[in-house]
Amino acid sequence: MSLKIFKSYTKSTRGTVLTDRKNLWKGKPLKSLTVGKHSTGGRNNLGRITSRSRGAGHKHKYREIDFYRKKDDLKAIVERIDYDPNRSAHVALLKYEDGIKSYILAPNNINVGDEIVSGRNKEIKIGNCMQLSDIPAGTDIHNVELSPNGGAKLARSAGSSAQISGTDDNYCIIKLSSGEMRKVINTARATIGSVSNPDHQNIKIGK
C-alpha cells in the first residue's frame, strides 16, 4: 500500500495523509460471511448517554474472520482483498478446493490469485498456516494462537508481526513487536508473514 498526500487547498486537507486503496475490492463484502453490528450510541438500557461521543458514523457490517485455519491440506486461492472497517488490517477472501469461502487477515505482500494452505509440514510461504513446531527460528509470523485450537490472539493489527526466537522443550519462545517474550506451546498455530496495511500508522486525518 502507498500513501496519498493531499495538497492544502482547504484546512481539512492540510497535513492529510491516507492510504491508497485502489487495489482493494470496490464492491460489497460477501453477504454469507457478514453479520449486523449493533451500536448503542453510548446509551444504556434507559436511553441515557453513559459514554459520550459515541453516536453517528456509518453503519458497519462485521466480517466473520477465520482465526482458526482448521481446513488442513486443502489449498485455497486468494479471490480478493477487502477493506474492513472493523480493524486496521485488510482481509482476504479465500476460496478452498471444496468450494467453501472464508475471510482471513490478509498477510502483507499477498496478491489476488496466490495459493495458500494450512496443515503440518507445509512450505514456509507467506499466508501458509502451521504449527509453531514446523516453523524455523527467525521467521516472521502473525495470527498466533496462545493455545491449540484456541484461535489466533497475538499479532493481528495492521503491520504487526512476531518472531520465533527459539525453543524450550515443548514450547516456542516468541518475541512480540513490543519486545515482550512469550512462551507458547509448540502445537499452537501461526501464519507466516506480517499483517497487511503497514502504512496504517502513518495515517493523518488532517483537521
pLDDT digits (tens, 9 = 90+) for 118-172: 999 899 999 999 999 999 999 999 999 999 999 999 999 999 999 999 998 899 9
Q: pLDDT tens, 158-182?
A: 999 999 999 988 999 999 999 999 9
Determine the residue type at 93.
L
Average pLDDT (51-70) is 93
pLDDT at 89: 97
Confidence grade of residue 1 (pLDDT, cut at 50, 70, 90): low
Work out the average pLDDT over 83-101: 96
Structure confidence at residue 57 (pLDDT):
87
- Contact status, residue 157 vs residue 201, Cβ threshold 8 Å: no
Mean pLDDT of 179-206: 94
pLDDT at 205 over 90: no
**pLDDT value at residue 206:** 79
Q: Give CA–CA dist 120/147, Å, rounded.
A: 16
Percent of the chain with pLDDT over 70: 99
Q: Which of 97, 171, 174 is nearest to 143 (CA)?
A: 174
Radius of gyration of the chain (CA): 19
How high is the pLDDT of residue 12?
87
End-to-end CA distance of the chain: 23
Mean pLDDT over 70-79 rounds to 95
Measured torsion, CA atoms of residues 187, 192, 198, 200, in degrees rounded to the nearest 10:
-40
**Confidence label for 16 from pLDDT (cuts 50, 70 and 90):** very high
Residues in the chain: 207
Structure-block grid coordinates of residue 199: 502504512
